Amino acid sequence: MRLFHAYAGVSPLTYVRQIRTAAVKEIVGTSQHSMEKIAEMVGFSSAEQLRRAWQRFEGTNPTERRRSNGAIDRNEFE
C-alpha cells in the first residue's frame, strides 16, 4: 500500500474513486442515463453514493455537469 501511495500519490481506495468519477464525467456528459443507471455502470452501490463521491472530487454535482455540457434531458421527448 505504501508503494502504491508513493507511486500514485493517493490511497488505492481514493484512486479507484477518482477513476470511477472520471468515468461518470464521461457518461454524464455524453448520455441521458439516469444517475441510478450510471452508478450501477461504474460500480457505485447507489446514486447517492455516486453524488457524494462526485461532490468530494468535483465540488459540484453530476446534474450541473450535464446541464453545462448541454446534454439533452431524457424527459424532453416524453
Domains of the chain by start residue, with CATH: 2-67 (1.10.10.60)
Which residue shows C-alpha cell 500514485? 8
Closest by CA to 73, choosing from 22, 47, 35, 16, is 35
pLDDT at 21: 83
* Average pLDDT by stretches of 10, the chain with 78 residues: 91 89 87 91 92 85 75 44
Cα 11 from Cα 2, distance rounded (Å): 8
What pLDDT, on the 0 to 100 scale, is given for residue 71?
53
